[in-house]
Amino acid sequence: MSDQLQRSDVSAHEKWDLTHIYADMSQWEEDYERAQALSREAAAFQDNIHDAEGLLAYLKLDEQLSFVYEKLFVYASLKQDEDTRVTEAQAYLDKARSLGVTIKSATSFFRPFLLNMEKETLDRYIAEEQGLDYFKKDLYEEFKYKPHVLSKEKEEVLSQLGEVISVPKTVFGMINNADIQFGEVTDENGNKTTLTRGMYSRILESHNRERRAEAFKAYYKPYVGLKNTIASTLGASAKNNVLFSKMRNYESPLQRSLFADNVPVSVYENLIQTTRDHLGPMYRYVDYRQKRLGLDELRVYDLSVPLVEDFELEKPYDEAYETMLAGLAPLGDEYINGLKQARTSGWIDVRETQGKRSGAYCWGPYGTHPYVLLNHNNTLDSMFTLAHEMGHAMHSYLSDAHQPRISAQYTIFVAEVASTVNEVLLIHYLLNHSTDAKLKRYLVNHFIDTIKGTFFTQVMFAEFEKIVHEKAMRGEALTADSFSETYESLFRTYNGEQVVLDPELKYGWSRIPHFYNAFYVYKYATGIASAISIATRILDGDQETVQSYLTFLKSGGSEYPLELLRRTGVDLLTPEPITGLLSLFDRLVGELEST
C-alpha cells in the first residue's frame, strides 16, 4: 500500500474538479438547508392539491427539490470516493442519505394521489394550465401503472414492509461481502496466503494450472458450505417476486420487471432462444482453447487464461487518450470535441491513490457535467475502461445538453450501448492499425472473451432466472439441489460438453449478486448486441447511422428504450441484432482458429 500515490501527488489536470458542483462546503450546507425547507413545503401539499394550479405548483416544487438533492448526494458521494478513509466526507454522505429518506417520506403521497385521480380530471387540468405540458408525458406515464396499484391502505402496508421484503438481498449481501471466508492458496513464492476476490480473478488468468485449480477450489469452498443458507435467501427472493407480481396483477415476475421499459416478454424469450440456436461457435472456441493450451481435458478454471502468453502493452494515460480519440473519430467532430473538453475541464479522476474507491464509473448531476472515476494503470485493459466510461460520459453530456431535466435521464436498458459502441470502435481501430501479429491475436481473443462474458454468460444467467421464477410460480421446491441441477445443466448447454465440470461448479448460482435484482442481467446482452449492430454500420461508413446514433445519445429518456434503439436501426423485437452479434462471434473465432 505504501508505494501507492497519495492524492496530493497527482497533478491537477488528472483530477476531477468538484468545484463545478459546489465551490466549497458552505454552498453544500446552504443547499442542504434549502432542500430541507423544500421538503417541508412538499409535504404540505398532501391533501391540498385541488386544481390545475395546485398540481403545477407541486410538480415544479418537486422537480426543484429533486434537482437540489441530486447535487447534494452526487457531490458527497464523489467527495467520499476520492478517499474513503476521510470521515468528514462519510459524514456528509450520511447526511445526504438521511435527507433522501426525509424527502421520500414527504413526497410519497403524490403517486397514490395521482393514480386515484380520474384520467378525465387530469385531461382537464392539463387543458386548463399550460405549464403542465412540460410534465404531461410523465403524468400520463404514471397512469399505465393504475391496474397495478392497490388501495391506499394496502399500499401503505406494502411501503412499511419495504425493509422486510429486502431481507433476502440484505442477508446475501452480508454473507457475500462480510462473512465469506475463502480458503488459502499458494502465492508466487510458494507461501500460503488467504484468497481474495481480486486475487482469484488474477490467478484464473495465470498460466500455472495447479494454482488455478487450487484457487478455484478455495473460492467455491465457502459457497458450497453455505449452499443451503444461500438457497433459502435466493428462494425467498424469487417467492417475493412471485407474490408481489400476483398482488399487483402482473402475469409473472418477468412481465412486472419489463413493464417500466415497455419491453414485451418476447424480447427476453427471443434473446434466449436465438442464442441457444447459435451456440456452435462457442463450442468451437472452447475446442480451440483446449488445443491452444495443450490440455487433455478442459476444466472451468481453464476458461479465463489468455491464449497469448507473456503479452503486455504499456499505454500511458495520455497515449491511451489519444489512441481512443483516433479510434472514435468515425463518430465525428462534435463527439470528439466533447471528449477533448472532458480531458482538460476537470471531468476525469485518473490515478489510483491511497484510499480511493476501486473500479471505474461515470456519474454527475444534471446542470453540471459528468464525472468519470478511473484507476488507470497504463495497461490495455485500462484503455478499454477509459473508452467505456467516456461512452457513458458523452451519452450523459449530450443528453443533458439537448433534453430538459425531466427527460434527460436514460434508462439502464440503453446505458451500456454507448459505452460498448466505444469499445467496439476502439478494438477495430487497434486491429486495423497494428502490424504485430501477437497483438492482433491478443485483441481478437480479448474481443471474444468480452462477448463471452457480456453476452453468453448473461444470457445463461437470464435463462436461469426465468426457470427459477417459473418453478416458484408453480410452487415447486427451491432448494440448493434444484438450483444446482438447473445451473449445471445450463452451464453445459452454453459452454459445451467438452468442459469437464468439477463438482463445485454447479453451485455457481450461489455467488451471483445480480440474482437478487431479478431480470436485470439480460440488459447486458441486449446492450452489447445493440452496440455491435450500431458500431458495425458506423465502421462500414454509414453516415446515416452516425447521425441517428448521435441523435440517440442526445435523446436521453425522451422515449421508451426500444423506440430509441429502433431509430438507430436496431429492432430488438426481431432476432437480427442478436444474430448479428452471433455472426461476428463466429467470424472472430474463425480468425483465431486460422492463427
Q: Under a CB-based contact definition with an 8 Å cutoff, are residues 364 and 305 in contact?
A: no
Other residues' Cβ atoms within 10 Å of the Cβ of residue 499: 21
Q: Are 563 and 258 in contact (CB under 8 A)?
A: no
Distance CA 553, CA 334 (A): 12
- Name which of 327, 312, 316 is nearest 390 in CA terms: 327
CA distance 495 to 20: 48
Q: Which helix (H) or strand (E) holds 494?
A: helix 480-495
HEC string of 81-118? HHCCCCHHHHHHHHHHHHHHHHHHHHHCCHHHHHHHCC
- Indicate the burial class of 127 (C-beta count within 10 angstroms; 0-12, 13-18, 19 or more): exposed
- Give SS3 for 539: helix
Task: Give the residue from 307, 300, 348, 305 showing the smallest Cα distance to 324.
Answer: 348
Residues, the chain, total? 595
At position 136, the amino acid (one-letter code) is: K
- List, in order, residues 6 or more apart from 465 with CB less than 8 Å away: 515, 518, 519, 521
Phi and psi angles of residue 351, each rounded to the nearest 5 degrees, phi first: -90, 150
Of 493, 447, 405, the residue nearest 589 (C-alpha): 447
Active site residue 53: no
> If you compute the radius of gyration of the chain from its CA atoms, what whole number of angstroms results?
25
**Distance of alpha carbon 482 from alpha carbon 468, whole angstroms:** 9
Query: Are 512 and 234 in contact, with CB atoms under 8 Å apart?
Result: no
Rounded CA gap, 124 and 226, in Å?
58
Set 82, 128, 322, 389: catalytic member: 389
Q: In what order do the strands lie in the sheet with 348-351?
A: 348-351, 371-376, 361-363
CA distance 250 to 148: 7
| Interacting residues of 582 by C-beta distance below 8 A, sequence separation 6+ | 274, 275, 278, 281
Answer yes or no: are the C-beta atoms of 161 and 150 closer than 8 Å.
no
Residue 151, number of CB atoms within 10 A of its CB: 10
Residue type, 203: I
Query: Counting beta carbons within 10 angstroms of the beta carbon of residue 503, is it exposed (0 to 12), middle (13 to 18) or buried (19 or more)?
Result: exposed
Rounded CA gap, 368 and 507, in Å? 45
Judge whether 349 and 83 are in contact, CB under 8 Å.
Answer: no
Give the closest residue to 407 by CA, choosing from 217, 587, 561: 561
CA 399-400-401 angle, to 5 degrees, is 90
Report yes or no: 31 and 68 within 8 Å, Cβ to Cβ.
yes
CA angle, 494 then 584 then 542, to 5°:
145
| Catalytic residue set | 389
